[in-house]
Amino acid sequence: MKEWNKHDLIDLQGLSKEEIELILTTAKSFKEVSTRDVKKVPVLRGKTVVLLFFEPSTRTRMSFELAAKRLSADTLNISAVSSSMSKGESLLDMAKNIEAMNVDMIVIRHGSSGVPKILAEALGPSIINAGDGCREHPTQGLLDVFTIKERYGKIAGLNVTIVGDILHSRVARSNIWALIKLGAKVTLCGPATLMPKGIETLGVKVSYDLKAVLNHSDVLMILRLQKERQQEKFLPSLREYARLFGVNQEKLNAASKNILIMHPGPTNRGVELSAEVADGTQSVILEQVTNGVAVRMAVLYLLLGTKDKGSEEIKNVFTH
């Protein structure tokens, strides 16, 4: 198996197919840890992981924090509100101060695209991008392809449709990179005002007709609609959006295939999907959450866990 030699996880655009596959394989092993009676392995004991969140987040912050704790790392939360950024300190200053305390990793979420990359270039600790602006959210992309692979046994050749506000979605971007590298056929579907110009150059198809694409989709990845987009004139009305691009059971039943339903959460029930679809038998939304912890454990382990991360050593972790 290919060895891991990345120091940071900034985006999926920059990972090879083999690197993504190594993360998925590692995550498979770690998923079992969270089902044990004692959900803890000692691989990151004595490591310090800082969770630096400049946007509110419950699930992503919690998922990283649990992943770190189940690997026995020490965690430290810093949120923008309570931080000394309110004293006018620059982000890079602040990050250099955190680095000076000999931390091993900084997991950062920030509203501006590119911030994690800047930190990775300037700092010694490993940086994980937990979402930057409209750019990428790599661990979300990883947990999504992990979930698809778990259900279908493969990614290559599957028809995956991503529905919604593609323009502003870092989740969509990370998924596009991961899915294309792993050989899926990706279709993007949403209002023309929320579709990035020229996105087809990435190797994806674009459609404005949800009913048409449903007929050949194996997986439907439904994005969260930020309701603010209506005020920003991207949308005529929420009702119109729901009528055209909202996913309900009726539309699913009309499709010729049994489609896997995914959503990164939190859901706007009644807008981008109906409650019936969110809680239905085709939905793997909560399974995505479960897999998020496993994927993040894998990423933390690969970035921090060992110097030589061959597959033998990964197996040994689980004999502790």
Q: Which residues contribute to the site for a second copy (CB under 8 A)? A: 34-40, 45-48, 50, 56-59, 62-63, 65-66, 69-70, 74, 76, 78-79, 81-90, 93-94, 96-104, 227, 265-269, 286-287, 289-290, 292-293
- Residues with Cβ within 8 Å of 25's Cβ and at least 6 positions away in sequence, in order, are 1, 311
Per-residue HEC secondary structure of the chain comes to CCCCCCCCECCCCCCCHHHHHHHHHHHHHHHHHCCCCCCCCHHHCCCEEEEEECCCCCHHHHHHHHHHHHCCCEEEEEECCCCHHHHCCCHHHHHHHHHHCCCCEEEEEECCCCHHHHHHHHCCCEEEEEEECCCECHHHHHHHHHHHHHHHCCCCCCEEEEECCCCCCHHHHHHHHHHHHCCCEEEEECCHHHCCCCHHHHCCEEECCHHHHHCCCCEEEECCCCCHHHHCCCCCCHHHHHHHHCECHHHHHHCCCCCEEECCCCCCECCCECHHHHCCCCECHHHHHHHHHHHHHHHHHHHHHCCCCCHHHHHHHCCC
| Nearest distance from C-beta of residue 204 to a second copy, angstroms | 27
Write phi, then psi, for 84 (nearest 5 degrees): -80, 5
Q: Name the residue nearer to a second copy (CB basis): 61 or 185.
A: 61
| Nearest distance from C-beta of residue 119 to a second copy, angstroms | 15
| Nearest distance from C-beta of residue 183 to a second copy, angstroms | 28
Q: Name the residue nearer to a second copy (CB basis): 59 or 239.
A: 59
Q: Name the residue nearer to a second copy (CB basis): 31 or 185.
A: 31
Q: Name the residue nearer to a second copy (CB basis): 290 or 311.
A: 290
The CA angle 117-142-161, to the nearest 5 degrees, is 110
Q: Name the residue nearer to a second copy (CB basis): 100 or 212.
A: 100
Q: Name the residue nearer to a second copy (CB basis): 38 or 192.
A: 38
| Nearest distance from C-beta of residue 84 to a second copy, angstroms | 4
| Nearest distance from C-beta of residue 3 to a second copy, angstroms | 19
Q: Cβ–Cβ contacts within 10 Å for residue 218, how many? A: 18
| Nearest distance from C-beta of residue 285 to a second copy, angstroms | 9
Q: Name the residue nearer to a second copy (CB basis): 87 or 197.
A: 87
| Nearest distance from C-beta of residue 52 to a second copy, angstroms | 10
| Nearest distance from C-beta of residue 256 to a second copy, angstroms | 30
Closest by CA to 49, choosing from 28, 70, 68, 29, is 68
| Nearest distance from C-beta of residue 13 to a second copy, angstroms | 26
Q: Name the residue nearer to a second copy (CB basis): 129 or 267.
A: 267
Q: Name the residue nearer to a second copy (CB basis): 64 or 177.
A: 64
Cα separation, 238 vs 268, in Å, equals 11
